[in-house]
Amino acid sequence: MASWVLSECCGVRPFSFHRPKPAPRPANPNLLRVRVLPSSPIPNKPSGRPIYWPLKVIAPPSVVQLEEVGKDKNVSGSDSGRVQEEEEEEAAAFDPGTPPPFGLAEIRAAIPKHCWVKDTWRSMSYVARDVVVVAALAVAAARVDSWLVWPLYWAAQGTMFWALFVLGHDCGHGSFSSDLKLNSVVGHFLHSSILVPYHGWRISHRTHHQNHGHVENDESWHPLPEKIYRGLDFVTKKLRFSLPFPMLAYPFYLWSRSPGKKGSHFHPSSDLFLPNEKKDVITSTACWSAMVAILAGLTWFMGPLQMLKLYFIPYWVFVMWLDFVTYLHHHGHEEKLPWYRGKEWSYLRGGLTTIDRDYGWINNIHHDIGTHVIHHLFPQIPHYNLIEATEAARPVLGKYYREPEKSGPLPFHLLGVLARSLRIDHFVSDTGGIVYYQPDPQLSQQEK
pLDDT tens digits, one per residue of 299-350: 999 999 999 999 999 999 999 999 999 999 999 998 889 999 999 999 999 9
Flag whether pLDDT at 232 surpasses 50. Answer: yes
Kindly indicate the confidence band of residue 68, based on its pLDDT and cuts at 50, 70 and 90: very low
pLDDT for res 4: 39
Question: Is residue 95 domain-resident?
Answer: no
Residue 395, φ and ψ in degrees, nearest 5:
-60, -30
Flag whether pLDDT at 82 surpasses 50. Answer: yes
Average pLDDT over residues 170-177: 97
Number of structural domains in the chain: 2
pLDDT for res 316: 98
Contact 168, 325 (CB under 8 A): no
Q: Which one-letter amino acid corresponds to residue 436?
A: Y
User: Based on C-alpha coordinates, what's the Rg of the chain?
Assistant: 34
d(CA 295, CA 97): 48
d(CA 68, CA 64): 6
Is there a single domain that holds both residue 216 and residue 352? Answer: yes
User: Whole-number mean pLDDT of the chain?
Assistant: 84
pLDDT for res 89: 57
Question: Is residue 123 domain-resident?
Answer: yes
Is there a single domain that holds both residue 47 and residue 110? Answer: no
More confident residue, 89 or 424: 424
Residues 18-50 have pLDDT tens digits of: 444 445 544 444 444 444 444 444 444 444 444
d(CA 353, CA 139): 42
pLDDT for res 86: 56
CA atoms 430, 433, 439, 441: torsion sign: negative
Flag whether pLDDT at 159 surpasses 80. Answer: yes
Residues 6+ apart with CB under 8 A from 354: 212, 329, 330, 372, 373, 376
DSSP 358-394: --TTHHHHTTTTT-HHHHHH-TTS-GGGHHHHHHHHH
Kindly indicate the confidence band of residue 260, based on its pLDDT and cuts at 50, 70 and 90: confident
Kindly indicate the confidence band of residue 200, based on its pLDDT and cuts at 50, 70 and 90: very high
d(CA 311, CA 406): 32
Residue 435, φ and ψ in degrees, nearest 5:
-130, 160
pLDDT for res 354: 94
Contact 315, 292 (CB under 8 A): no
pLDDT for res 257: 86
Question: Is residue 23 domain-resident?
Answer: yes
d(CA 397, CA 76): 29
d(CA 250, CA 336): 25
Is there a single domain that holds both residue 131 and residue 252? Answer: yes
The domain containing residue 127 runs over which residues? 104-447
Q: Which secondary structure element, helix H or strand E, spans residue 36, and what is its range?
A: strand 32-36
Closest CA to 313 of 171, 207, 161: 161
Is there a single domain that holds both residue 268 and residue 214? Answer: yes
